[in-house]
Structure 1
Amino acid sequence: MAKLSAYEREREANIARNRALLEQLELKQAVDGLGFQKQPSQKAKAKPVQSTKKVKKEADAPRRQSARLRGAAGIDPNETPLKKRKREAEEQERLAKEAEERIEAQERERLTKKPRHDDLNLIALTDEDTAEVASLSKELQNITQTPQPRRSANAEAFVFEEDAKGHAQVEELRKKLQGLNVVARAKVTENRIYSAAYHPEPTKDLIFFGDKHGQLGIWDARAPPDEVDDEGESDVETKENGKYWRLQVHWPATSMSSISSVKLDPIDSHTVYTSAYDCTIRALSFTSGVSREIFTNDETLICSMDLVPSGHEMWISDAAGGVTHLDLRQDKSKGIWYQLSDQKIGCVSVNPSRPDFLLTASNSRELRIWDTRKLRSIATDLSLNESIAEFDSEVVTKYRDSKEGAGCLRGEWRHDKSVSRSIVSTSYDDAIRIWDIHSPAFESSKAFPSARPFCRISHNCQTGKWLTILRAQWNPNPDVYPHFTIANMNHSLDIISCKGERIARLSDPSKITAVQAVTCSHPSIIERAATGNASGRCVLWAPKDV
């Protein structure tokens, strides 16, 4: 047998170390990706879609050595089976430790070189080849041909004095929505889906998904399929639908960079904003194909964000119980911070029809509505320096209790456990609550009347550690009767009206066996919804004839 060169010996040693580490960590998918022998698995009831992204495979595992070579390497060819097992176990442990240390060192070196706060183009955001980057660039450019501004709803459009008219609207929606089916599936991101946004373009189903490791998946769910790959994939049950691209917009690619919210520019929908646990907010422009940082706070975790309909202002909530008001026409250092709670504010939401009203939901179990005109006047009314960029809870509370601050806090309601979404709210006390605040209450400067929610729906919200918390999402279409979507722990999607009536429960056990924790709806087409689960797999719900 020919003697192995130094390069070949090092190469085989590297393969052995990587394999030992991956098997020790029970990363079966990674072991499969390296080309090692697969273990037989049980047949699942519903086959998950298989990613079309190619995985580079390493060469085969090291070949067996002869007794002569093993003796030259210091191995006794006559050793007993017991000693051999002990020696092999010690060797595997040593190789695994060395591989782990090497991988950690390589990861630290890579992260130190990553331009985390820089402007990044599509090539820097993706590991795809030139053709894939060109395909994504063309897709984004096509979107910019026609502006799709977010339309504001008329607050009184679906206010009926007679209940019969409301029931008729619900029945009309039920006819359109209860027949939705799974028409497309794909593994859009590599990790758990945390957030989603549906683009308003009416000729496409273009959905943006943010995942646990800072990756933004862009899915054109009904795009024509590419040519059949080299392996000749023909299984309809596991084949992916549409096209998707993965952009690493936030770094490092770990759970420290989970994308907590995704929002589209309300003016023309040509920019997508993402907030992440890396304490930054970035904006990806479809026109230039460049992602730039518009806000950063390295000291406090960013939880959520929302934009006013004009598109020039943004409100940002954080883990310190504060919200930041940011004017996007100014430098990112000009943001003003208000501490509105003594605990984490997990959600901030701007009233789309009355943008001067802001809603916050926090771990203090309180849901609050604020008049932002009053918040922005704190410095003036209290004769403080107008250049101050931070107002802590003491200043905010003092202002609320003053004559000038009357009406700053317009409403406040406590939940049994922490609140995660409003003004339909979900809570860990396994309930969905809905409030109905009449228009005259907004016109007055007085605080809203203290009132309980008019509707309480039992709903299992115990997602635990491995699932994204369930958030109710209002349908953004202003032309239909108000309703929202929310995931169900029974692997289905619930659609509920603003009066608490269940319009539809969508499920397909033959294709879905996981909780569709994150949901969103098309802003202009009624019969569209999208969901994502903890493995990064996403589903498009639409009529069968689509």
Structure 2
Amino acid sequence: MQESRPTGSAELPPRPGEGRAGAGRQLRVLLTPLAGPGRRPPRKRLRGGGAGGRGAGQGLCPEPGQGRDGAWDADSDGSDGGDAAADGYSQLSAYERKRLKNITENAKFFAALKMHESAARLHQITTKKQSSVAKRAKPKKAENESVRRRSMRLQRVEPLGVPVPEMPAQPEAEEYPQVPAGPLPMVPEDEMANGNLAEDLLTTWMRISEMKAGDTEKCTCDMKRYRDSLSSMVLSEDNVKKVVKYRVCSMAIHPSESLLFVAAGDKSGQIGLWNVDCKSDEGARVFVPHNYPVSCMHFSPFNPAHLLSLSNDSLRCGDVTRAVFDEICRNEESMSSFDFLEDNASTAIVGHWGGDVAVVDRRTPGTSSELSADIGFKRTRTVHVHPVNKQYFMAAGLVDVCIYDVRYLKSKGNKPVSALKGHTKSVASAYFSPVTGSRVVTVCADDKLRVYDTSSLPSAVGALSTVRHNNNTGRWLTRFRAVWDPKQEDCFVVGSMARPRQIEVFRDTGKLLHSFQNLDCLGSVCSINVVHPSKNILVGGNSSGRLHVFRE
């Protein structure tokens, strides 16, 4: 049966010499179009039609006039075979000989144009530029290079006669001369300009100290009356004043009932005295009796004409009757706080940042302490004496709050009477309640306020109540200290990080009773607060030296 031929195929005659072996064998040639210009035409695929001849799958030799790939050279007429043999290309087809000839002519043409030399030169130039950029070194600074320009504000230059405001920075030793040891005259910082005004302020302090307040019995009123009294205390613009230059670290309020007189100590060693009832600018004056932050202050309960203040290196008594700051104790171990051991304020317990405590007697000549005792603390932030049993005092340090008996203090090996447990981070303050001492409130860096029952003193005391409270004041604010209201045994006052800015009052059960706020006059955190012992007055101090007075 004869095989049908597909379209585009052609039969080839049998090769000479195949004879009868090739008879009956049909070949089909698949013709494909030539490739585009400049490309080698594809091979023709030859398929055997039968099993004879060379066998199935074997390719056929190219016919005369064909190239090696079986393509026909349309330009060749078979007459250039002699030239090809002479050139050594006898084995190539006419098409490939023509292709080689074109390549040779093109090479001669490009050689005449010198294209290769231009390309090589351009490549060399490009390579040099890239290498030079990669290896370029940074220019060295000249030795005599001028100092970088700074603005007039940073140079603290007064432009066009306009004074530059002072920056709230820690004073340097060059700007503020060191306060010498020993007694210092009670002279304000701006003596030359306001000498008479300062004398009026000190005279007022002396006058109100001579007036003995009535012996009113301390008692706790019912909670409704107390909350009503808190609501009646408001803040006005006249009762806000910048008293000291820098951050307030401690405050004390004079016990007088006839006139409101407040003292504030800042981080540079300044003490500001403010007669709040004096509505003019002359109501406040600043004194500099210390070199370091004034961390603790108290008016003497026996003689309010004495203001005792403690800094890192000295404990001083400002005696307005003699207009002098006496030096009671000097110690290079960095003192942190103090409290009176007796009602006549003749002796005091002093805490040290290094952890020790010391007993100081004001009647003893000299400025050394009577006893220095190691209580096992790494740091002592506050000390406080029991209001009834004066032999007991409490020390608060890192995670330790312990109560000791001063009668059994010795230089080493002191054991506490009782320990207040539960603190996981450093404790900022710990104070007995003012009337009976049966409660203690602490402020801890673990964001908790804790109240303890100290009516009895077992070896370990657990917290009676705990209040979640943001105590993360950071480095720019004085750490919070929760202080009891002297008029209310079971309520204490503490600063707050909440907005709007406020001062909070809590009960010993942990319940929030009242928040002192004023959107117009109170816009900062008051870390240090003090409450008047007999009147409904609260004073809060902030980090810029400003005092805020809430009163009826």
TM-score (normalizing by structure 2)? 0.65
Q: Deviations over 1:26-51 (max 9, x none)?
A: x7xx969x942789xxxxxxxxxxxx
Matching residue of 2:334: 301
Instruction: Tell me if the contact between 2:153 and 2:164 (Cα under 8 Å) persists in the aligned partners.
Output: no
Instruction: Tell me if the contact between 2:213 and 2:257 (Cα under 8 Å) persists in the aligned partners.
Output: no
| Equivalent residue for 1:36, pick from 155, 162, 170 | 162
Matching residue of 1:535: 544
From the CA coordinates, give the structure whose radius of gyration is larger.
2
| Equivalent residue for 1:144, pick from 202, 205, 209 | 209
Query: Per the alignment, do residues 346 and 149 of structure 1 end up closer, same or farther by CA in structure 2, a change over 3 Å counting?
Result: farther
Q: 1:482 Cα deviation (Å)?
A: 3.2
Q: Per residue, is there more helix in 1 or in 2? A: 1
| Equivalent residue for 2:184, pick from 106, 111, 120 | 120
Matching residue of 1:134: 199
Q: 1:264 Cα deviation (Å)?
A: 1.2
Matching residue of 1:432: 449
The SS at the match of 1:456 is strand
Where do residues 280-319 of structure 1 align in structure 2 (5 Å cutoff)?
Answer: 280-298=314-332, 300-308=333-341, 309-319=343-353
Unaligned runs of at least 5 residues, structure 1: 1-18, 40-54, 56-102, 159-167, 227-241, 252-256, 379-390, 401-407, 443-447
Identity of aligned residues (%): 21
Aligned partners of 1:494 and 1:374: how far apart in 2? 38
| Equivalent residue for 1:23, pick from 153, 159, 171 | 153
Matching residue of 2:508: 498
Structure 1 runs (4+) greater than 3 angstroms displaced: 19-22, 107-110, 124-128, 147-153
Q: Deviations over 1:177-201 (max 9, x none)?
A: 0232113110011100011111110
| Equivalent residue for 1:452, pick from 447, 457, 462 | 462
Q: Determine whether 1:250 maps to 2:311.
A: no
Matching residue of 2:382: 347
Matching residue of 2:427: 419
Where do residues 176-325 of structure 1 align in structure 2 (5 Å cutoff)?
Answer: 176-183=229-236, 184-225=239-280, 243-251=283-291, 257-277=292-312, 279-298=313-332, 300-308=333-341, 309-325=343-359
Matching residue of 1:523: 533
Q: 2:245 corresponds to which letter in structure 1? A: E
Q: 1:366 Cα deviation (Å)?
A: 1.0
Unaligned runs of at least 5 residues, structure 2: 1-148, 431-439
Q: 1:502 Cα deviation (Å)?
A: 1.9
Q: Deviations over 1:439-482 (max 9, x none)?
A: xx25xxxxx153311100011000001000000011223xx443
Query: Per the alignment, do residues 483 and 137 of structure 1 end up closer, same or farther by CA in structure 2, a change over 3 Å counting?
Result: same
Instruction: Tell me if the contact between 1:368 and 1:411 (Cα under 8 Å) persists in the aligned partners.
Output: yes
Q: 1:498 Cα deviation (Å)?
A: 2.8
Query: Per the alignment, do residues 214 and 411 of structure 1 end up closer, same or farther by CA in structure 2, a change over 3 Å counting?
Result: same
The SS at the match of 1:123 is coil
Q: 1:139 corresponds to which letter in structure 2? A: T
Aligned partners of 1:351 and 1:22: how far apart in 2? 56
The size of the alignment, in residue pairs, is 384
Matching residue of 1:4: none
Matching residue of 1:373: 407
Q: Determine whether 1:514 maps to 2:524.
A: yes
Matching residue of 2:363: 329
Where do residues 379-398 of structure 1 align in structure 2 (5 Å cutoff)?
Answer: 391=411, 395-397=412-414
TM-score (normalizing by structure 1)? 0.65
Matching residue of 1:488: 496
Greater RCO, 1 or 2 (C-alpha within 8 Å, sep 6+): 1
